[in-house]
Amino acid sequence: MKEWINDLGIKALNFFIYIGGTFNLMVGTIFQVFVRPFRKKEWFIQMHKIGVMSFPIVFMVAFFTGMVLALQSAYQLTKMNAQMYISSLVALSMLRELGPVLTALVIAGRVGASITAELGTMKVSEQIDALRTLAANPVKYLVVPRFLALCIMLPLLTVYADFVGIIGGYVIGVYKLLIGSTIYWKMTFDTLAFKDLFTGLFKSFIFAIIICIVSCYEGFITEGGAEGVGKATTRSVVISFILIIAADCLFTALFYFIFP
């Protein structure tokens, strides 16, 4: 019993240390964003790696998600002769939930793992310590460009995923279910409101912060050589996934139930 309580205490202590470490890194990163030099070239390099290189995979995920949404909703709505509402269902689902969440999960798996592996390798090979000895701030040098790139590119990727998902639903609705093209687009845009787009973009911005801070923090605390890098990368992706889903639940309740 004593060992169990001791183990529980150690886990609780490590949990609060982790929360404090990530919060400290987030505050330090936001502060360093406004400190010169701005290193704009590095921003654009990271924006290309994080955003432009992710367009193909985001396209595939969003397009087939829109198609699956249309097919699944058609299975029930055709029984009630309400096929025309498929477009509304697909558009609302993509803008409010699936667009931001799926895009964030894809980026967390593709980019977050890459960031952790890169920084973790630098940590175990003592390159981050070398930066400190050269009077270079590792947060300014390594985290800030990735933070800004994620905060800019993830909302843009979310808008792209929303549009592609609606196109996927359009393909099924018009060419499979024989809904008129004009009716499909009319029902899509009549249903949507600015709030739907805004909430999706706001959530994607929060998801970008989560992915960047968790991935960079896991990279900074990596220990144990190559094996430690692998474990840190796995932890980074798992924790990012959990926090993304939890944040999505929180803000959905906030926007649509507490402050509708």
Q: For residue 217, what pLDDT is reported? A: 95
CA triplet 28, 30, 31: central angle to 5 degrees?
Answer: 65
Per-residue pLDDT 10s for the chain (260 aa) are: 777 888 888 888 988 999 999 999 999 999 999 888 888 888 899 999 999 999 999 999 999 999 999 998 888 887 787 778 888 899 999 999 999 999 999 999 999 999 999 999 999 988 888 888 887 889 999 999 999 999 999 999 999 999 999 999 999 988 888 888 888 899 888 888 888 999 999 999 999 999 999 999 999 999 888 889 999 999 999 999 999 999 999 999 998 887 76
Q: For residue 260, what pLDDT is reported? A: 67
- Secondary structure of 140-207 in HEC code, one letter for each residue: HHHHHHHHHHHHHHHHHHHHHHHHHHHHHHHHHHHHCCCCCHHHHHHHHHHHCCHHHHHHHHHHHHHH
How far is 228 from 26, CA to CA, in rounded Å? 23
Q: For residue 257, what pLDDT is reported? A: 83
Q: For residue 190, what pLDDT is reported? A: 87
Domain residue spans of the chain: 2-258
